[in-house]
Structure 1
Amino acid sequence: MLTMRPIGVFDSGFGGLTILKEIQAKLPQYDYIYLGDNARAPYGTRSFETVYQYTLQCVKWFFEQGCPLVILACNTASAKALRTIQQNDLPVMGEAKRVLGIVRPTSEVVGNYSSNKKIGILATKGTVLSNSYVIEINKFFPEVEVVQEACPIWVPLVEYGEYKTAGADFFIKKHIEELFKKQRNIDTILLACTHYPLLAKKIKEFVPVDVTILSQGAIVANSLRDYLHRHKQMEESISKNEKTMFYTTDDVTNFNYQAEIFYGKHVAAQQLHLS
């Protein structure tokens, strides 16, 4: 049997598959486990404590599967749970284990894309309320003005397959207009939800042509590659069989169908029952 010490990739649902896809494009040699906590999604409307408890439970499961490194490929989990897990839980789980998120690596570079230092954030309500992007971006780019817009209907539009329809235009246009009302000179928009890359074409229809629209997948993949280059012991501990396993806490048939939309190819998931 192959000895598996994969990289764990976690999301509350399907969106993290857009991150996994980009990570694998940059780092195909490693093994991966993807878990979507679809039975308890969405996380974006839940309290900080609930998101923390759900995320911690899933992180512990990844460690039980032999993962030395877990990526929270979910903006809400990264914003609401990552810091507490890193500070309070990891010290008692073992020094060799690591959990990384996607807010910080995105924040470290997003300011480089803006010429006039005015950046818009489109995200779930939970991510916006956490204020994580405003705080983190201003650490690295204190001169940047960050404005946010919560788009609570966008995730359901994607997951119910309505994101390409004319009906979706109303909700996309509405939130783009609200964002630009807050700052009309935005030149860079960050899609701070892993579902939103599927809406990128629609979003482009309602923003000025010179506005840069950023998805997180490639940014996170480059950051992970750099992290593993700098942490040789961690890199060497990850198994390299080019194998990927998929799990969902909800219906497998539906997960496989939806996952193909986000991931770009067929997957065969297993169901996980979390107690």
Structure 2
Amino acid sequence: MIGVFDSGHGGLTILSALSRRLPRQRFIYLGDHANAPYGQRSPEEILALTQVGVARLFGLGCTLVILACNTAAAVALRRLQQEWLPLAYPNHRCLGVLVPMIEEIAQNPWHAVASPADGLRRREVLGVFATPATVASGAYLHEVAKRAPHLAVFQQACDDLAGLIEAGAPEDRLMQSVAAHVAALDRQLGGVPVDTVVLGCTHYPLVEHLFRAVLPDRTRIVSQPQRTADALTAYLFRHPEMKSFGPVPAALRCFTTGDPARATQLASAFLAGHPAGNKVAFESLPQHLTGHVEYA
């Protein structure tokens, strides 16, 4: 099975795209609602919480886990892959949503570097809306610069938005937050138009229509869920041992570290107007996975 991990219910936007692209693949989702949001936590807290979440998905039978959380992917993924998995779970894998997005933005594969010709391309402006922890990691800034030096990257930390989405804030309050962050990015740019915007948190596609309403019509918004689905499909062709296809479309199972009724209510309310649909029901984690988990 393949696990999908997020700090709350934002990663359901990723899960939906994955299940539509790979309907016979078995997926398990885990939302760490008890500790959401991650965006204002320290790097060590994010690493510890992400490691526990991934270990719990391994405990549910997953051999591959997708970090459907930009904060976790930006802050924790590399250390998990290099320091923890080889020792604790050498036959398991963990991937994130950040790499597919960088590849999409830069139009270069992850292991490629920019050529001299890339520096001669027309300068474009890329805006990244993300959590404070993702912005502080510098992941988008540094990785895009390696592969697409013609892109001028401007980051805007949205300190409240993921938390508002998790809390089920009304749409007018969400619009206030989105508009304020777009205005802050405009001030950074000093009137220069933004060509492309990345919604660098998987919660943000749930309010993409609000970003669309306040951004210029000419600004492209990059779709993270679809790009992640494309990347996973390609990965499974290269690593067929990670597939777990059934004969018919697989049922989705969603677990939470928080209150299942509350998580179901909030997720269903937000997904009602989103392409992900609103058929989601969270379960409590099995008892043997809810206790203390040692950090590496």
TM-score, normalising length: structure 2: 0.85
1:30–1:239: 8 Å Cα contact kept in structure 2? Answer: yes
Indicate which of 194, 205, 208 corresponds to 2:202.
194
**Letter in structure 2 aligned against 1:141:** A
1:191–1:216: 8 Å Cα contact kept in structure 2? Answer: yes
Equivalent in the alignment of 2:135: 128
Equivalent in the alignment of 2:52: 57
Question: 1:8 offset after TM fit, Å?
Answer: 0.3
Indicate which of 145, 161, 164 corresponds to 2:152.
145
**Letter in structure 2 aligned against 1:225:** T
Q: CA deviation digits over 1:33-91, x for unaligned, max 9?
A: 10001001111111111111111111111112221100000011101110000000111
Q: Establish whether residue 79 from structure 1 lines up as the match of residue 74 from structure 2.
A: yes
CA change 1:62–1:170 in 2 (3 A) is closer
SS at match of 1:142: coil
Structure 1 unaligned regions, length at least 5 = 1-5
Q: CA deviation digits over 1:67-124, x for unaligned, max 9?
A: 1100000011101110000000111134321000011111011134997421000011
CA change 1:94–1:250 in 2 (3 A) is closer
Report sequence identity in percent. 38
Count of residue pairs brought into register by the alignment: 267
CA change 1:230–1:117 in 2 (3 A) is farther
Using the TM superposition, name which of 257-266 and 33-42 deviates more.
Answer: 257-266
Q: CA deviation digits over 1:239-263, x for unaligned, max 9?
A: 4361321100010101111222234
Using the TM superposition, name which of 177-186 and 120-129 deviates more.
Answer: 177-186
Indicate which of 178, 189, 194 corresponds to 2:184.
178
User: What CA distance in whole angstroms lies between the structure 2 residues aligned with 1:222 and 1:37?
Assistant: 25
TM-score, normalising length: structure 1: 0.91
User: What CA distance in whole angstroms lies between the structure 1 residues aligned with 2:174 and 2:18?
Assistant: 29
Structure 2 unaligned regions, length at least 5 = 109-120
Indicate which of 209, 212, 224 corresponds to 2:217.
209
Q: Establish whether residue 155 from structure 1 lines up as the match of residue 162 from structure 2.
A: yes
Q: Which runs of at least 4 in structure 1 moved beyond 6 Å after TM superposition? A: none
Equivalent in the alignment of 1:97: 92
Equivalent in the alignment of 2:28: 33
Q: Establish whether residue 12 from structure 1 lines up as the match of residue 7 from structure 2.
A: yes
Equivalent in the alignment of 1:3: none
SS at match of 1:149: strand
Equivalent in the alignment of 2:261: 253
**Letter in structure 2 aligned against 1:264:** G
1:111–1:117: 8 Å Cα contact kept in structure 2? Answer: no
Question: 1:267 offset after TM fit, Å?
Answer: 2.2
Equivalent in the alignment of 1:228: 236
1:121–1:189: 8 Å Cα contact kept in structure 2? Answer: yes
Question: 1:194 offset after TM fit, Å?
Answer: 0.9
Superposed CA RMSD in Å reads: 1.9
User: What CA distance in whole angstroms lies between the structure 2 residues aligned with 1:91 and 1:160?
Assistant: 37
Question: 1:170 offset after TM fit, Å?
Answer: 2.8
**Letter in structure 1 aligned against 2:43:** F
SS at match of 2:154: strand
